[in-house]
Amino acid sequence: MDLFDDEMIELQPSLTLIKGMATAQASQFWQSVMTISRQSPFRKMQTPGGQWMSAEITNCGTVGWVSDRQGYRYVNRDPLTDQPWPLMPVTLYEFACEAASRAGFEGFSPDICLINRYRIASKMGLHQDRDERDFAQPIVSVSLGLSANFLFGGERRNSSTQSILLEHGDVLVWGGPLRKYFHGISKIYPGDDPLTGPYRVNLTFRRAL
């Protein structure tokens, strides 16, 4: 695959959409997700306020992100299985590093991939990724399967938002001054994807520790 054949769109300084970058490797990535979820199954998590998230979640890497009545945090063992999280596949790690580099963030070294699985009715409210230690590191988001409307906001929850259509194989990278901006998913488009079926699967790479 020639990564540099894909279309790069600078939506804002430090917010880059790379259209179709993951398309050629999507089947391989999907198989990795299936392997990871057999070891650490997808599950719905509870917010500290007691509500249940509509997206289903699992992780791979050194640590995993969890949420419950005790709060949002990273843990080194899967609370569902009491086992270490699955290792991050080398192909995923290298892809995330390359995507970050293309977007202008050299030296990114993710230690976690948070995997969200969305059904057609699923959404993700506006939120910040702020449980990590080093906010100089970017976020790399890979979309597989059904299309979605991704909302990218500002420093406050009530800031105006930009709606970004994310399709199968798209990669979105943000960081720098936008690293803690609010973002979310407002809509999953109905369909039956040849790879993921009735799901959108989102792989989010971060440096947590």
Binding-site positions for 2-oxoglutarate read 116-118, 200-206
Torsion, Cα 67 73 77 79, to 10 degrees, reads -20
Q: Residue positions in the annotated binding site for Fe cation?
A: 127, 129, 183
Burial level of 202, CB count in 10 A (0-12/13-18/19+)?
buried
Nearest C-alpha neighbor of 206 from the set 133, 144, 124: 133
Burial level of 10, CB count in 10 A (0-12/13-18/19+)?
exposed
Nearest C-alpha neighbor of 119 from the set 49, 60, 199, 176: 199
Q: Residue positions in the annotated binding site?
A: 65, 72-74, 116-118, 127, 129, 131, 157, 183, 200-206
141 neighbors 204 (Cβ within 8 angstroms): yes
Q: What is the CA radius of gyration of the chain?
A: 16
Which residue stretches of the chain are H helix?
Answer: 26-39, 90-102
Q: Residue positions in the annotated binding site for substrate?
A: 65, 72-74, 131, 157
